[in-house]
Amino acid sequence: MRIIVQKFGGTSLATLELRKRVCDIIAATKKDDIGVVVVVSAMGRTGDVYATDTFINMVKEINPSPSPRELDLIMACGEIISGVLLASQLSFRGIKARFFTGQQAGIVTDSNHGNAHILYVNPKNIINCLKEGIVPVVAGFQGVDEKGEITTLGRGGSDTTAAALGVALNAEVIDIFTDVEGVMTADPRIVKDAKLLNVVTYNEICQLAREGAKVIHPRAVEIAMQKSIPLRVRSTFSDHTGTLVANVMTGTLDTVKLISDNLITGVTYTSNISQFKIDISTVQDKKGYELKIFKSLALAGISVDFINIQPEVILFTVGMENTRKAIEVLENIGIHPEVELDCAKVAVVGAAMTGIPGVMAKVVEALSENDIPILQSGDSYTNIWCLVKREHMETAVKALHDKFELGK
C-alpha cells in the first residue's frame, strides 16, 4: 500500500470550521490503495485555550519549577485533545479514523523530558490500522521512553513525529500543512514580497530551519533525509502545491532531474538573545580566566553561543531566559560583564554561497544603509549572520532580503 503522511499545524486545527478543511484534504488524499497517516499539533497558538503554552502556564502558576516529568504529561495533552477531535470529526463524516497517542503509535524516545529525541519507531499499530482501511490520527510532539514515561520532543516536535513516521512507514511523501504557502525566502510576516521556493534541497531547508525559519523543524528534515523521503511544505488554506524538499525530481520518461542548491536561499532571524562582553585587556593569565568563565557557565547548565575570544575581549551570547543566571554566575567569580539585552540574530543563508566573493560586503552595506549597528558577526560555509538589537531585527531582515533581490 502507498502511504502518505500529512501533518497539520496548530493554526490549521484551531476551530471546527478549519478542521472541516483539514478533513477535506484527508478525504481527497485517501484512496483504496493510498493510506493516509495524520499527525496533529495542539490547537491554536500561544494564548489559545488548548495550546501547549496554556497548559505550561497552568502548572507554573502553581509551581514555577514543576518536575520535567509532570510538565511533559501536561504538555502532551494539547495534541491528545486536537487528535481526538479530528478523529471524531473524520469518523462523523464517514471517514473511519482512529486516534493514537505518541506511545500508542510506537514513538520511542530517550528520557530527556521536554526535548526528547526519537530512538526508534514501532509502527505496528499504525500499520494494522491502515490495513483495516482506517485513518490513523497520531498525536505529534510526544513519545514514550523505554521506562514507559511520557516525553515531549521540544518546539516543532510534531514535524519530527511526522518525519519519523514517514521514514518508519516508507511513505511516498510527508506533507507539512501550515498557515503559509510553503517555504519562502523570508518570513512572510516580516517581508511582504518574500518569494515562495518551489523546490529546495534537504541541505538548504536544513540550513534555513537551523537558522530560525520556523516553518519546519530542522530535526524533521534530518530524519526525512535519512531515507530521502520527500517533504512537501504547503498551506492548509490554499490548493498551491507548496515547497517540495527533495534531492532529485523525477523527470519525464527516464530522465532524473537533479536539484541544486541556490546561491542564497533566504534570510532568517532569531530573537531573545543577550550578548555578554568581558574586558580581558588587563588580565594576566588569559587562558585560566577564559576557562573559569566557560566552566562556571557550563556547571550552571547555561548554554552559550557565538563565542568570540579576542586578546582584549571575550564575546558570547546566551538565551534571554538565562541572562540573569549567567550574570549571577559570573559575578560570583568576580567578573562583571557588560550585557546587551534583547538582541537578535539575522542571517543570510545559502548552501552554495561558499567561495563567492562579496556576500559579506552586501550584508554590511544593507545594514549600514539602514543605520543598523552590527554588534557581532560570524559566518560558516552556508551562512553569514549578524547580531543586532532586537528593535532593528525586522528592518535588517527586510534590508537583507532587498539587497540580495530575493523577492524578484
Task: Provide the binding-site residues for ligand ADP, judged by CB under 6 A.
Answer: 9-11, 41, 178-180, 183-184, 186-189, 213-215, 266
| All cell numbers assigned to 134 | 482506517
Pick from 355, 179, 194, 395: which is nearest to 263 by CA?
A: 355
214 is in an annotated binding site: yes
- Cβ atoms of 91 and 97 closer than 8 Å: yes
Rounded CA separation 110/116 (Å): 6
Residues 31-50 that bind Mg ion (CB under 5 A): none
Partner whose footprint covers residue 213, from Mg ion, ligand ADP, none (CB < 5 to 8 Å by kind): ligand ADP
Q: Which is nearer to ligand ADP, 297 or 347 (CB)?
A: 347
Site string for Mg ion, 119-158 (x = CB under 5 A): -------------------------------------x--
Query: Mutual orientation of helices 218-226 and 157-168 as an angle, nearest 10°?
Result: 10
Q: Residue 193, annotated ligand binder? A: no
200 binds, among ligand ADP, Mg ion, none (CB under 5 to 8 A by kind): none
The item of ligand ADP, Mg ion, none sharing an interface with residue 278, based on CB under 5 to 8 Å by kind, is: none
First to last CA, the chain: 42
Alpha carbons 386 and 56: distance in angstroms, whole number: 32
Partner that binds at residue 174, options ligand ADP, Mg ion, none, CB closer than 5 to 8 Å by kind? none
* Cβ neighbour number for residue 93 with a 10 Å cutoff: 14
Which ranges in 123-200 belong to alpha helices (H)? Answer: 124-131, 157-168
- Residue 31 is classified by DSSP as B
Considering beta carbons, is residue 117 or 214 the nearer one to ligand ADP?
Answer: 214
Q: Which is nearer to ligand ADP, 189 or 286 (CB)?
A: 189
* 156 annotated as belonging to a binding site for a ligand: no
CB of 78 to Mg ion, least distance (A): 13
Are 174 and 230 a contacting pair, CB within 8 Å? yes
Binding-site annotation: residue ranges? 7-10, 52, 79, 178-179, 189, 214-215
Binding-site annotation: residue ranges for ATP? 7-10, 178-179, 189, 214-215
